[in-house]
Structure 1
Amino acid sequence: MEQLFWERAVSIVFVFFAIRFPRAVAAKPAVPALFSFGDSILDTGNNNNLQTMSKCNFPPYGRDFPGGVPTGRFCNGKNPTDLIASALGVKETVPAYLSTTLTPQDLITGVSFASGGSGLDDLTSQVQGVITTPAQLANFKEYIGKLTAVVGQQRASEILANSIFLVSAGNNDVAFTYSFLLATTRPFPVYVSYLISLAKNFYKNLYDLGVRKVWVLSTLPLGCLPGGRTTGGGPLRFCAELANMEAQTFNGQLSAAVDSLRASLPNYDIRFVDVYTPFLSIINNPQASGFTDAGEACCGTAPFGGVSGLCNLLEICPNPSTYIFWDFAHPTERAYQLVVNSILQKMNMNTSITN
């Protein structure tokens, strides 16, 4: 009897553990990977080997990136692609898809397809010699084939459906292509309608490829960038109001387009992310966030840096964390951190970045 008792007791214990514990062990992360498309706000180095002026794989870019190396990020450190991936527990940094050191594990947890200087309008990318939006989409299709070869069709589909895809596009179309190439020949509302049609087509293509979670970033307050102040802010370099109004017009129509897509495509969790407002709030009251300068760039200061653009070693501030902007058009890592925290709160993500 005693032996029978212990045999039954052991059987009960095994059954208990078999029922209660395997699910926790097999649990998958809520966000398996993170991807990004678009322009220099999210580019992590895809332009490095292109014949273009729109690249930054040289010092002082990357001075505050892990290892202090220039990686092709248009920043002194990490950009929103990295910061959001890190905050969501995916990985600390997201490599460029065109990186020569890409590994199978990189494919599984996400890559960036973004290209600094690109736009929704192919003209924007072609003038600067960077990767067009259709070409980024073609790279993504190629990526899907590589991912499938590594993990199989079912797992690849799961990754695409459950990962977060960031897109930042429109900054260069509005601030560069329209302002400098098209303003005298095409009314701005007509051009915005054209951009929105291109955006909707791109997001529909992502959906058709199995993507289900997309965060669509608005433009920055373009008139308040150091370059925008220099070219449109007058002698005192105020925020250029016309550029900001055009950015707001584009952002409003982009938000409406995103809402329309979400309503019309089943199970498409596509969301508009307003980065214009939190950036403008920081710019209007920099001291509240610990910044000492809202109008100049840390490297390449006005009046020359706002026009020539990219950083050089001869013009660089001693402490980038006190500046909102790193160069003529791109925020510092610390400014990005504050705005990304705002994004994560609005997206109801129970996480934040520690400065």
Structure 2
Amino acid sequence: MDSFLVLHKLILLLVIFLTCNYVQSQTPLAKPNKPSAIFVFGDSTVDAGNNNFIKTPMKSNFPPYGRDFINHIPTGRFTNGRLVSDFIASYTGVKDIMPAYLDPTLRIEDLMTGVSFASAGSGFDPVTATLSSAISLEQQMEYFKEYKSKMEMFIGNEKTLDIIKNAVFMLSAGTNDFIVNYFGLGEPITQFMYPNVTSYHMLLFQNVEQLIKKLMNEGARKIAMVGLPPIGCLPEVITLNKDVAINGRKCVEPMSYVATEYNRILESKLKAMQTSETKLYYADIYKPILDLIQFGKTKLGFQEVNEGCCGSGYIEAAVLCNMNSAVCDDASKYVFWDSVHPTEKAYYYVFTIIRPVVDMVLNDYKN
């Protein structure tokens, strides 16, 4: 009789165990209170080192880049330390820093919480990436599809789709389309095809819309897009301006106006594209970077606002910023690290200004 009772209890426990597991498997996953992952697409402002693994002159995996990064390692980030995307990942609690997707040392745990597909030199115009031998946005999208396939193999379709559905997608590009392509190396052909800036804006917006729709089709439900900085205030643009000898090192206002018009239309288009299922967010970096340049010396603790820390401060970037270049002693006194890219301190300031947008995204997970 005792044996019968013991057997009966064991059978009962087994039934309860199987029933609970079945119910759990049929119950939808609880809504997270933070993003499941962060996926980043774009250019050097968010490239965590993908260009280390391709043939391109646009690399920064050597000193003095990374001088103030963790363990003073040059990771391929185009600055002395961390990027805005790193600060966002840390602030949201997703991960400490964003890894590069092409890094062969990444573990499954790293992939699960998101990666950066960005490539320095890229842009929304495919020609822009070609000029720098960078990874185009189209190819970055293909890498994301490859990522999905890998994850489905490791953790299954359902969990992969759940990660993507609850992730944040961040897009940061467009500057190279103007300073490298339209007004730079690609100028003769690109300006022939698009004789005014407005027509080129339309091309870029068409490509932006296509990219966003592709992300939606892949399951993206929260997409944040960064606008353009005041491109006329970048040290390289100032230096190459023909009137710099007359006017001194001042922002090239017509170039910055191109960015303001782009940002105005972009914000409007993102609002129009938003659906009941997918939320689109616009992050303005124009004003915080302009504030750094206009008030950096007087209010924000910087000593140099229109020359880079690395090199002469004029046109050095990528391979032209190296250990043979003159490098300032304290990058935290500079807004720009090289002729194009901000310092870690400047990036952190930008992050603090756009943090309300990040908080808005986080609130959407709680509501």
For the criterion TM > 0.5, the same-fold answer is: yes
Conserved? CA contact 1:216–1:272, under 8 Å:
yes
- SS of the equivalent of 2:71 reads coil
Conserved? CA contact 1:297–1:326, under 8 Å:
yes
Unaligned runs of 5+ residues in structure 1 are 1-25
* Counterpart for residue 245 of structure 1: 257
Q: Distance in 2 between matches of 1:350 and 1:144?
A: 23
Q: Does 1:266 align with 2:270?
A: no
Amino acid in the other structure paired with 2:68: D
Q: Percent identity?
A: 38
- The count of residues paired between Structure 1 and Structure 2 equals 326
* Counterpart for residue 143 of structure 1: 147
* Counterpart for residue 365 of structure 2: none
| CA displacement at 1:344 relative to structure 2 | 1.3
* Counterpart for residue 4 of structure 2: none
Structure 1 residues 107 and 83: CA distance shift in structure 2, 3 A: same
Q: Distance in 1 between matches of 2:93 and 2:167?
A: 12
- SS of the equivalent of 2:40 reads strand
1:125-184, Cα deviation, whole Å (9 max, x unpaired): 011101011100000000011112222222211111111111111110022210022365
Conserved? CA contact 1:96–1:113, under 8 Å:
yes
After superposing the two structures, state which structure 1 stretch, 151-160 or 177-186, moved more. Answer: 177-186
* Counterpart for residue 255 of structure 1: 267
* Counterpart for residue 229 of structure 1: 238
Q: Does 1:212 align with 2:216?
A: no
Conserved? CA contact 2:332–2:345, under 8 Å:
yes
Conserved? CA contact 1:309–1:329, under 8 Å:
no
Conserved? CA contact 1:310–1:328, under 8 Å:
no
- SS of the equivalent of 2:282 reads strand
TM-score by length of 2: 0.84
TM-score by length of 1: 0.87
1:23-57, Cα deviation, whole Å (9 max, x unpaired): xxx88451121110010000000100222111111
| CA displacement at 1:309 relative to structure 2 | 7.2
* Counterpart for residue 52 of structure 1: 56
Q: Distance in 1 between matches of 2:326 and 2:279?
A: 43
| CA displacement at 1:74 relative to structure 2 | 0.5
Structure 1 residues 350 and 27: CA distance shift in structure 2, 3 A: closer
| CA displacement at 1:103 relative to structure 2 | 0.7
More contact order relative to length (CA 8 Å, sep ≥ 6)? 2
* Counterpart for residue 14 of structure 1: none
Q: 1:121 aligns with which of 106, 118, 125?
A: 125
Amino acid in the other structure paired with 1:224: C
Conserved? CA contact 1:229–1:238, under 8 Å:
yes
Unaligned runs of 5+ residues in structure 2 are 1-29, 363-367
Structure 1 residues 81 and 348: CA distance shift in structure 2, 3 A: closer
Q: Distance in 2 between matches of 1:92 and 1:331?
A: 20
Q: Distance in 1 between matches of 2:249 and 2:158?
A: 54
Q: Distance in 2 between matches of 1:205 and 1:282?
A: 35
Structure 1 residues 110 and 347: CA distance shift in structure 2, 3 A: closer
Amino acid in the other structure paired with 1:275: I
| CA displacement at 1:303 relative to structure 2 | 4.1
* Counterpart for residue 336 of structure 2: 325
1:306-349, Cα deviation, whole Å (9 max, x unpaired): 7x874222311000011111011100111111111111124435
Q: Does 1:280 align with 2:284?
A: no
Structure 1 residues 108 and 304: CA distance shift in structure 2, 3 A: closer
Conserved? CA contact 2:236–2:315, under 8 Å:
no
Structure 1 residues 304 and 81: CA distance shift in structure 2, 3 A: closer
Q: Distance in 2 between matches of 1:96 and 1:234?
A: 38
Conserved? CA contact 2:221–2:277, under 8 Å:
yes
Q: CA RMSD in A?
A: 2.1
Structure 1 residues 109 and 304: CA distance shift in structure 2, 3 A: closer
| CA displacement at 1:252 relative to structure 2 | 1.4
Q: 1:292 aligns with which of 297, 303, 328?
A: 303
Q: Structure 2 matches for 1:146-165, cutoff 5 A?
A: 146-165=150-169
Conserved? CA contact 2:127–2:181, under 8 Å:
yes
Q: Distance in 1 between matches of 2:269 and 2:167?
A: 22
